[in-house]
Amino acid sequence: MKAFREILAAAGLLFTILIATLNYSALPQQIPTHFDANGLANGWSDKSFLWILVAFAAFDYILLSLIRFFPQSTMNMPVRPELRAAALPFAFAMIDWIKAETTCLLAFIVHAMFAAARGGKALTALFTPVVLGFVFVLFATSLYYIARMSRLKPAKSVAQ
């Protein structure tokens, strides 16, 4: 499952980079960067703003990948100290899912911005529900793994 999460995260980042690189020159100088609940553009920026989103996606991917190499004592987990070792796989799985979900969300947003900039029309009516769905999934993922960690019980010792 870890391989699937890594492939999903890398694919999201790669898609974000590719769509920005391959389509940047075809964009008008001003592009929509903010949309209302109906998908209508209500904020505009210079097209170079897209590189901020690409950089954020790369930063997110790299930082969440490097967390595994931070000292484990720096991780805040909802467990007692004696359960930290048992909770670490859950914490790392949660981080991997969040990395995959955020890179895919950013890929979707960059794609939607390119589509709106090229077409000059409102985004599809599904834009807001899809973004809210991603946010819900991020929240649910965090809650799921925090609940799994908080239910850990110490191993029973066997009296000799």
pLDDT at 84: 85
Q: Which domain holds residue 28?
A: 2-150
| DSSP string computed for 110-140 | HHHHHHHHHH-SPPPTTHHHHHHHHHHHHHH
What distance in Å separates the CA atoms of residue 124 and residue 127, rounded to the nearest whole number?
6
**Is residue 31 domain-resident?**
yes
What distance in Å separates the CA atoms of residue 58 and residue 149, rounded to the nearest whole number?
28
What distance in Å separates the CA atoms of residue 11 and residue 98, rounded to the nearest whole number?
14
What distance in Å separates the CA atoms of residue 86 and residue 72, rounded to the nearest whole number?
12
Q: How many domains does the chain have?
A: 1
55, 21 contact by CB (below 8 A)? no
**Is residue 159 domain-resident?**
no
45, 33 contact by CB (below 8 A)? yes
**Is residue 156 domain-resident?**
no
Mean pLDDT, 10 residues at a time, over the chain (160 residues)? 92 95 89 76 87 94 92 79 87 94 92 78 71 93 92 68
**Is residue 104 domain-resident?**
yes
Residues 27, 30, 35, 39, CA torsion sign: negative
Cβ burial 129-150 (10 Å sphere, 16+ → b, else e): eebeebeeeeeebeeebbeebe
- pLDDT per residue as tens digits for the range 111-131: 888 888 877 555 667 777 888
> What is the C-alpha end-to-end distance of the chain, expressed in Å?
39
Cβ burial 43-56 (10 Å sphere, 16+ → b, else e): eeeebeebeebbee
- pLDDT per residue as tens digits for the range 57-83: 999 999 999 998 888 777 777 788 888
pLDDT at 160: 47
**Is residue 155 domain-resident?**
no
